Amino acid sequence: MNCIIVDDDKLSSKIIEGYVSKFTSLNLIGSFNDAVTARNILTERSDIDLIILDIEMPELNGFDFIGSLDSPPNIIVVSSAEEYALKAFDFNVVDFLLKPVSYGRFCKAIDKTLRYFSRKEVTNTGDEEIFIKKGSSLVKLKLREIIYIEALENYVTLNTNDDKFTIHFTMKAIENQLPSGVFIRVHRSFIINKSTIQAIKENSLDLNIGGSLKNIPVGKSFRDSLLNDINVMAR
């Protein structure tokens, strides 16, 4: 799992770097003492899976940094201010660590992140059931009933044949929890159920939704992985 550290506290960064080096499952791409530089790196690379992030930083604080990202990866917040904890979880961070961070507590946070990051087995059929909040009720939904997922700022909408559910989640976080045998990301704003694909065009695809076709854009950086993931027979 590729990760970066974003913290203007040099001592804290060095300690976290040491902790990261002990994990064979983590690959440190770099440490940055300001969020602006880190954001530039994220716009250039799509393979960053985890950000270990401080909150109080010059020019762009941690919360504004998260809010500026279209699809934030997994995030662990590391801060000396305990009062930021509740707000941090509003941004769907994986964990909040209070400085000074002990190695044991860091290990628990990474183990938790790896559980979120690990994609479900390809053999998963999507029969797993989840409960989605709608109004004042919790509605049971099978994953395979989801036709497509669309990003909307800090929310995502889960679209089925008959309904739509809006939840406070990031695309990266929900992508990591969906079975890869059923779903695939085709655009920075769209994840689709592969079984509903009717046709794949140059820059888009059509989904079959209750007998009607829904056109979904396909991003250039996602097209190759889409074609590699499905069975294509051509002359």
Query: Domain limits at 79?
Result: 2-117
- Of 96, 117, 138, the last residue of a domain is 117
Residue 159 lies in a domain: yes
Residue 124 lies in a domain: no
Question: Would you say residue 123 has pLDDT above 50?
Answer: no
Segment 170-190 shows an average pLDDT of: 86
Count how many domains the chain has: 2
The structure tokens 């159920």 sit at 193
CATH code of 201's domain: 2.40.50.1020
Spatial CA neighbour of 110 closest among 20, 213, 12, 223? 20
The structure tokens 């801060």 sit at 79
Residue 8 and residue 110 share a domain:
yes
CB 142 within 8 Å of CB 161? no
CB 205 within 8 Å of CB 192? yes
Residue 162 and residue 198 share a domain:
yes
Question: Would you say residue 116 has pLDDT above 80?
Answer: no
Cα distance between residue 126 and residue 155, in whole Å: 22
Residue 112 and residue 7 share a domain:
yes
Name the 3-class secondary structure at 66: helix
One-letter amino acid for residue 108 of the chain: K
Question: Would you say residue 117 has pLDDT above 70?
Answer: no
Rg (CA), the chain: 19
Q: Half-sphere exposure (CA, 13 Å, Cβ side) for 32?
A: 22
- Of 58, 92, 117, the last residue of a domain is 117
Beta strands in 90-128 (DSSP E): 95-98
Give the model's pLDDT for residue 96. 94
- Dihedral angle over CA of 122, 126, 130, 136, nearest 10: 130
- Of 68, 96, 117, the last residue of a domain is 117
Residue 103 and residue 26 share a domain:
yes
pLDDT (tens digit per residue) in 124-171:
556 677 888 777 788 888 888 999 999 987 789 999 998 999 888 888
**CA atoms 122, 125, 126, 129: torsion sign:** negative
Residue 150 and residue 177 share a domain:
yes
Among 59-68, 90-99, 174-183, the minimum mean pLDDT is found in 174-183
- For the chain, what percent of residues have pLDDT higher than 70? 93
Residue 122 lies in a domain: no
Give the model's pLDDT for residue 192. 96
Beta pairing class for 137-142 and 183-187: unpaired
- Predicted TM-score (pTM) of this structure: 0.55
Between the CA of residue 196 and those of 87, 142, 145, what are the distances in Å?
A: 37, 15, 10
Residue 208 and residue 159 share a domain:
yes
pLDDT (tens digit per residue) in 84-105:
998 888 887 889 999 999 999 9
Edge-to-edge, what's the strand order for the sheet holding 164-167? 164-167, 155-159, 148-152, 190-193, 183-187
CB 149 within 8 Å of CB 156? yes
| Residue 174 or residue 205, greater confidence | 205
Residue 223 lies in a domain: yes
| Residue 177 or residue 204, greater confidence | 204
pLDDT (tens digit per residue) in 34-49:
999 999 999 888 889 9
Report residue 224's pLDDT band, with 50, 70 and 90 as the boundaries. Answer: confident
Among 66-70, 168-172, 220-224, 229-233, the minimum mean pLDDT is found in 229-233
